[in-house]
Chain A
Amino acid sequence: MKDFRIEQEPKGTVQVIRLHGSLDMYSFPRLETQLQTLFQQKHHCVLLDCSQLDYIGSAGLGALIGFAKQARENNGDLKLLHVPERIYKIIELLGFTKVLQVFNAEDTAVTSFPKP
């Protein structure tokens, strides 16, 4: 059971956020604050690396959709990378993958964002 941790790494115009641990109603406000800060700084292309994530709840998923919507309205997007199989099965079953794009290769994900 890992503590929730966030790392941020810019890749050109894309901000890669690496998530560690569990994203639930308790930990999500930390990510929310980070995303709000990025959006205020006009960084609307965000890739969330989920490889070290062990759980995501609906509060987190719902909020990510809200951020993706906001990003798209500003010519950006919010996409997911390396989603563990256990989490992917759940979010696919619920239908979240219909609106959140998921990638297995970081380079492909980074180049898929709208160009400035």
Chain B
Amino acid sequence: MDSRDNIQLKKSTSRLCISAPGHGKSLRQIRVIITDLSRQIGFQEDEVAKIEMSVDEACANVVEHAYDQSRDWILKDNPKIELHIHTENDRLIIQIQDHGQGFDFAAYRPTNIIERIRAMRSGGYGIAIMRQFMDEVEYTSDPETGNTLRLVKYLKKT
């Protein structure tokens, strides 16, 4: 077990697990770990930047929505963001787990990023960015295991 401040890393030959405090302060270190790993796997820099932003958006949503700071329980329960990362058949698979408030992903209406930008709207880009930048985005919510967002990026051979 390696640690960077309060972020715990568990590595095995085929899998990396990150456990971080469910706080905005964790995001920068998570991005550093994800970008390093994506480069090591062989993604081009443009793709690394997309993976970095998608994971950041996902973790920011956990902090902002799942672990809403206005809830009293958040202060005593020390909630975590957990990332389980592995590769499978030239695919990078990142599962982001939390145990906070779930999100009705089925009811979510896709945002048109360009329309939103032209209307100069200040928020609501996160999920649309993940969907634009990743090859697969899937969300599940389970009372036992918590909420899991699964992001997949295909490694395109040049």
Contact = CB atoms under 8 A, between A and B. Distances in A.
B24 interface: yes
Given A26-B25, A69-B120, A90-B53, A58 B125 contact: yes
A57 B129 CA distance: 10
Contacts of A62: 121-125
A57 B60 contact: yes
Interface string A41-68: 0000000000000010111011101101
Contacts of A106: none
Contact of B60 (A22, A25, A65, A99): A25
A90 B50 contact: yes
A89 B45 CA distance: 11
A59 B49 CA distance: 16
Contact of A59 (B25, B28, B123, B132): B123
A83 B129 CA distance: 20
A24 B28 contact: yes
Contacts of B88: none
Interface stretch (B93-101, B111-119, B139-147): B111-119
B32 interface: yes
Given A25-B60, A25-B64, A62-B125, A68 B113 contact: no
Nearest to B61: A25
B120 A89 contact: no
Given A25-B24, A86-B49, A94 B132 contact: yes
A94 B131 CA distance: 12
A89 B121 CA distance: 21
B92 interface: no
Contacts of B68: none
B56 interface: yes
Interface string B16-55: 0000000111011101100000000000011001101100
A65 B24 contact: no
Contacts of B56: 24, 55, 57
A95 interface: yes
B122 to A, nearest CB: 3
B61 to A, nearest CB: 9
A89 B25 CA distance: 26
Given A62-B122, A95-B113, A98-B118, 7 more contacts: A24-B60, A59-B123, A59-B126, A62-B125, A65-B120, A94-B129, A99-B117
Interface of A: 1, 22, 24-26, 55, 57-59, 61-63, 65-66, 68-69, 86-87, 89-90, 94-96, 98-99
